[in-house]
């Protein structure tokens, strides 16, 4: 896909490859859940100390089943929610200490899951794309229109689409428009929350290829939230596996996909045809029981109630996230599971 070189080069210089765009250190999110006027609120730990570094031009995929804390993590990174604890640096700026949240929010943009609900049906596409410029820049109407039309071309749409309404487009085209809107302010980071899960399989690859082209041309960093490991394998550079708000495995995509060490990662890959790694991961793993409530997490390892390899220590102690075989893994039995 061809892109407008001047703008692409300008952003690539601002956001050179290898520069740390996001540094998250022990991010936590705790919600107080009301239990009535006569009882103290219950504390729900949605995210429990997640850390990662994301560089320009790279994609970090956050995976796990529903309720693991993926979307809560995304809301903290996009500044929608303030973390309960931990630190977050965006573009070299400490988010929690900064008083200019408006400028920070321009550095990170969000692409939502549902392209049918994320675009205002009452506004034309040109108005939708120009809205961020109208709010955040001093560009005049002609300049805003020029940038909007250039961005339409960048995401593979035609200039005549500028005056049309969202209902006149397919799901894939709407998601392209949503991506274009996210890029109007030249962000450093795009958080994509299940951006292709609502699309037909035949369209998913087109949108993923578009995201890859834009990343290469603009030096974008992606935080990619997904439950589809096939999609993750296509687009990610690194993978962070979450379970019940905690990181259980984190490392390079090829390392984790070829030989997952945490039993939960093994179960995820074994449940996806063609993605199981070597050794234990090739075995069919059926997880017993339900995901524990974040209001009452297990005392020890968060996965201990469903893990087929859990020992007494797993039920009493929380395993630290330690370096092992080229990735970080939180499992007392990981080294044994890695042995053929």
Q: How many domains does the chain contain in total?
A: 2
- Averaged pLDDT for residues 78-89: 95
CA–chain centroid gap for 106, Å, is 17
Nearest-10 Cα torsion for 166, 168, 171, 174: -40
DSSP 25-73: EEEEEEEEE---TTSPPEEEEEEEEEEEEEETT-EEEEE-STTSSHHHH
pLDDT at 49 over 90: yes
Q: Examine the domain organization and report whether 268 and 203 are in the same domain.
A: no
pLDDT of residue 173: 94
Q: Examine the domain organization and report whether 196 and 320 are in the same domain.
A: no
Q: Examine the domain organization and report whether 170 and 258 are in the same domain.
A: no
Tally the residues of the chain.
340
Confidence band of 100 (pLDDT split at 50, 70, 90): confident
Q: Which of 219, 236, 253 is the last residue of a domain?
A: 236
Confidence band of 280 (pLDDT split at 50, 70, 90): very low
Question: What is the domain-level CATH number for residue 66?
Answer: 3.40.50.300
Q: Which of 236, 257, 292 is the last residue of a domain?
A: 236
Confidence band of 273 (pLDDT split at 50, 70, 90): confident
Q: What tokens does 121 get?
A: 């049906």
Domain that holds residue 248: 240-338
Q: What tokens does 75 get?
A: 């809301």
Lowest mean pLDDT among 44-53, 72-81, 114-123, 323-332: 114-123
Q: Examine the domain organization and report whether 303 and 198 are in the same domain.
A: no
Q: Examine the domain organization and report whether 140 and 90 are in the same domain.
A: yes
**For residues 185 and 210, what is the distance between their CA atoms, to the nearest angstrom?**
18
Q: Examine the domain organization and report whether 255 and 193 are in the same domain.
A: no
Lowest mean pLDDT among 4-13, 109-118, 158-167: 4-13
Q: Examine the domain organization and report whether 24 and 77 are in the same domain.
A: yes
**For residues 110 and 116, what is the distance between their CA atoms, to the nearest angstrom?**
15
**For residues 336 and 294, what is the distance between their CA atoms, to the nearest angstrom?**
29
Q: Closest Cα to residue 113, out of 225, 239, 241, 209?
A: 225
Q: Examine the domain organization and report whether 178 and 256 are in the same domain.
A: no
Q: What is the pLDDT of residues 24-35, one digit of tens each?
A: 999 999 999 998
Confidence band of 224 (pLDDT split at 50, 70, 90): very high
Lowest mean pLDDT among 171-175, 270-274, 284-288: 284-288
Q: Examine the domain organization and report whether 10 and 110 are in the same domain.
A: yes
pLDDT of residue 198: 82
**For residues 320 and 75, what is the distance between their CA atoms, to the nearest angstrom?**
25
pLDDT of residue 12: 40
Mean pLDDT value across the chain = 88
Q: Examine the domain organization and report whether 79 and 206 are in the same domain.
A: yes
**For residues 24 and 84, what is the distance between their CA atoms, to the nearest angstrom?**
13
**For residues 36 and 39, what is the distance between their CA atoms, to the nearest angstrom?**
6
Q: Examine the domain organization and report whether 175 and 301 are in the same domain.
A: no
**For residues 62 and 74, what is the distance between their CA atoms, to the nearest angstrom?**
9
Q: Which of 193, 220, 236 is the last residue of a domain?
A: 236
DSSP 224-269: EEES-HHHHHHH-SEEEEEETTEEEEEEEHHHHHHS--SHHHHHHH
pLDDT of residue 340: 58
Q: Examine the domain organization and report whether 38 and 177 are in the same domain.
A: yes
């Amino acid at each position: 896909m061809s892109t407008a070189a001047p703008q692409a080069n300008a952003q690539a210089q601002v956001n050179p490859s290898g520069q740390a765009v996001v540094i998250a250190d022990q991010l936590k999110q705790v919600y107080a859940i009301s239990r009535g006027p006569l009882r103290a609120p219950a504390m729900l730990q949605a995210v429990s100390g997640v850390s990662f570094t994301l560089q320009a031009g790279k994609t970090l995929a956050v995976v796990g089943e529903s309720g693991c804390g993926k979307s809560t993590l995304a809301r903290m990174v996009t500044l929608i929610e303030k973390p309960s604890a931990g630190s977050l640096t965006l573009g070299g700026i400490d988010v929690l200490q900064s008083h200019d949240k408006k400028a920070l929010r321009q550095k990170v943009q969000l692409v939502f899951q549902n392209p049918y609900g994320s675009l205002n049906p009452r506004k034309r596409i040109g108005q939708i794309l120009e809205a961020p410029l109208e709010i955040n820049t001093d560009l005049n109407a002609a300049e805003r229109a020029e940038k909007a039309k250039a961005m339409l071309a960048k995401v593979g749409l035609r200039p005549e689409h500028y005056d049309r309404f969202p209902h006149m487009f397919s799901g894939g085209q709407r998601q392209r428009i949503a991506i274009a809107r996210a890029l109007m302010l030249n962000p450093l980071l795009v958080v994509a929350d299940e951006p292709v899960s609502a699309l037909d399989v035949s369209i998913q690859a087109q949108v993923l290829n578009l995201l890859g082209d834009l990343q290469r041309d603009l030096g974008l960093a992606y935080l990619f939230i997904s439950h589809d490991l096939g999609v993750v394998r296509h687009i990610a550079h690194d993978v962070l596996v979450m379970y019940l708000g905690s990181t259980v495995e984190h490392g390079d995509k090829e390392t984790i996909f070829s030989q997952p060490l945490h039993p939960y990662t093994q179960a995820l890959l074994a449940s996806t045809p063609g993605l199981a790694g070597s050794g234990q991961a090739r075995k069919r793993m059926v997880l017993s029981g339900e995901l524990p409530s974040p209001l009452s997490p297990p005392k020890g390892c968060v996965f201990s109630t469903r893990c087929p390899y859990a020992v007494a220590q797993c039920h009493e102690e929380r395993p630290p996230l330690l370096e092992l075989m080229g990735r970080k893994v939180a499992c007392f039995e990981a080294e044994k599971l890695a042995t053929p």
